[in-house]
């Protein structure tokens, strides 16, 4: 099984498990990943997801070069569409996805991490878009999500050179939000996931949608989306509960309605 899904309460852990190929994404793995994304997105009991790589060396070392080598243009288009569906599915998921980057995050692996909402990395993680060294371009959103996260200069540096960045460098440019010692990575990712899982799932979904919209809209349209989602939050029991709990000096108990 190249994609494993386990549960820890309201948190799901998705592991891309093809360690013999450093978890490279072939079509079969992408299909399984897409199925997992769809299943988790439809499950209200899942409030947060942690995504990581199997084995101790790699998060995802990219799309599968051995499979891609013989592609026709049409097969490449289909492969790209499948990968993009995985990335867009994570981005559009109602729950927050946290990438726990435990090693190489190259090419499609860096793009997969970028599709997640938050990125935590182990100290030995490596990031890069090495497609240029293979004579191709990034195909799972790297030319689009990377500049949105780190700006044009760093995106071009990575995409045009194919160089790898260390975790501390990735942290400095804002590609990841935190770096931890190897053994601390999963506990810290799970801790954040449990924390997010306890928040209002409605407000979580609206917040994620509003921030996602920021990258694609002008500020007036974005503010309109923000205003509408803010108003919608006032139609929820979670808003009443959150504000009552604050004023009554007790922890809130959100029910997602
Ligand atoms: N694909 C297939 N196999 C891979 C792989 C990959 N991306 N990365 C590693 N492996 C395999 C190796 O071939 C090796 O297999 P065996 O020889 O043992 O059978 C095994 O994993 C262990 O790898 P190494 O022996 O190379 O391990 P090292 O520690 O020496 O090196 C490395 C680790 C990560 C630096 C190195 O493996 C490496 O450079 N890997 C390739 C990284 C890479 O170039 N990634 C980007 C792939 S391109 C598109 C759709 C998608 C894409 C583009 C366009 N369209 C349809 C529009 C995406 C493209 C990519 O992601």
Q: Are residues 227 and 189 in the same domain?
A: no
Same domain, 169 and 240: no
Task: Look up the CATH number of the domain holding residue 240.
Answer: 1.10.12
- Tell me the CA–centroid distance for residue 65 and ligand 1, in Å: 6
**Does a structural domain hold residue 256?**
no
Nearest ligand 1 atom to alpha carbon 22:
21
Question: Atom 53 of ligand 1 has which residue's CA nearest to it?
Answer: 139
Q: How far is the CA of 62 from the centre of ligand 1 (A)?
A: 6
- Shared domain for 73 and 43, answered yes or no, is yes
Distance 81 CA to ligand 1 centre (A): 20
The whole domain housing 191 covers 3-197
d(CA 48, CA 191): 11
Does residue 68 sit in the same domain as residue 90?
Answer: yes
Instruction: Name the burial class of residue 101, with classes exposed (0-12), middle (13-18) and buried (19+) by CB atoms within 10 angstroms of its CB.
Output: buried
Ligand 1-lining residues (CB < 6 angstroms) = 21-22, 24, 61-66, 76, 79-80, 83, 104, 106-108, 130-131, 134, 136, 138-140
Answer yes or no: is 138 within a domain. yes
Nearest CA to ligand 1 atom 1: 64
Same domain, yes or no, for 180 and 206?
Answer: no
pLDDT of residue 140: 87
How far away, in angstroms, is 61 Cα from ligand 1 center? 5
Assigned domain for 33 exists: yes
Query: For residues 225 and 218, what is the distance between their CA atoms, to the nearest angstrom?
Result: 11
Q: What pLDDT shows up at residue 216? A: 87
Catalytic center residues: 111, 131
Q: Are residues 210 and 192 in the same domain?
A: no
What is the count of structural domains for the chain? Answer: 2
- Give the whole-angstrom CA distance, residue 62 versus residue 99: 15
Residues 64-110 pLDDT 10s = 999 999 999 999 999 999 999 999 999 999 999 999 999 999 999 99
Task: Enumerate residue ranges in the chain where pLDDT < 50.
Answer: none
Sign of dihedral through CA atoms 16, 22, 28, 30?
positive
- Picking from 157, 172, 197, the residue at the C-terminal end of a domain is 197
Q: Would you state the pLDDT for residue 1?
A: 73
Residue with CA closest to ligand 1 atom 34: 61
Same domain, 89 and 190: yes
Q: Strand 11-16 relative to strand 118-122: parallel, antiparallel, unpaired?
A: unpaired
Tell which one of 17, 19, 24 to mutate to probe ligand 1, the residue whose CB is within 8 A of the most ligand atoms: 24
Residues 110 and 229 occupy one common structural domain: no
pTM of the model: 0.96
pLDDT tens track for 115-144: 999 999 999 999 999 999 999 999 888 899
Q: Report residue 13: phi and psi, to 5°.
A: -115, 120
User: Which pLDDT score is estimated for 121?
Assistant: 98
| Distance between Cα 193 and ligand 1 center (Å) | 29
Residue with CA at minimum distance from ligand 1 atom 44: 130
> How are the residues of the chain apportioned to helix, strand and coil, as percentages rounded to the nearest 5?
55, 20, 30
Pairing label, strands 164-166, 126-128: antiparallel
Q: Give the number of the atom of ligand 1 that is nearest the alpha carbon of residue 108.
A: 61
For residue 254, being part of any structural domain is answered with no
Q: Which atom of ligand 1 is nearest to the CA of 164?
A: 35
**Co-location of 49 and 9 in the same domain:** yes
CA 83, 89, 90, 91 dihedral sign is: positive
Decide if 55 contacts 23 (C-beta within 8 A). Answer: yes
Q: If you take atom 2 of ligand 1, which residue's CA is the nearest one?
A: 64
Q: What is the pLDDT of residue 141?
A: 83
């Amino acid at each position: 099984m190249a994609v494993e899904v386990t549960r820890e309460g309201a948190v799901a852990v998705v592991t891309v498990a093809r360690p013999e190929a450093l978890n490279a994404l072939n079509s079969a793995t992408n299909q399984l990943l897409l199925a997992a994304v769809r299943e988790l997105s439809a499950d209200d009991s899942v409030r947060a997801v942690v995504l990581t790589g199997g084995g101790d060396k790699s998060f995802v070392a990219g799309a599968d070069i051995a499979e891609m080598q013989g592609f026709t243009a049409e097969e490449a288009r289909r492969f790209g569409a499948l990968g993009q569906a995985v990335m867009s599915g994570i981005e559009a998921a109602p729950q927050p996805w946290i990438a726990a980057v435990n090693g190489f995050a190259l090419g499609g692996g860096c793009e997969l991490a970028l599709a997640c909402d938050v990125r935590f990395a182990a100290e030995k993680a490596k990031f890069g878009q090495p497609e240029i060294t293979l004579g191709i371009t990034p195909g799972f959103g790297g030319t689009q999500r990377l500049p949105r996260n780190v700006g044009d200069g760093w995106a071009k540096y990575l995409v045009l050179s194919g160089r790898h960045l260390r975790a501390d460098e990735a942290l400095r440019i804002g590609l990841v939000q935190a770096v931890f010692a190897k053994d601390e990575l999963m506990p810290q990712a799970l801790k954040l996931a449990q924390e997010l899982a306890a928040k209002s799932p409605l407000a979580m979904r609206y917040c994620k949608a509003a921030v996602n919209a920021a990258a694609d809209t002008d500020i007036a349209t974005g503010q309109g989306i923000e205003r509408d989602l803010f108003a919608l939050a006032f139609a929820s029991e979670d808003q009443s509960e959150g504000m009552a709990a604050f004023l009554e000096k007790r922890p809130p108990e959100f029910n997602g309605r």
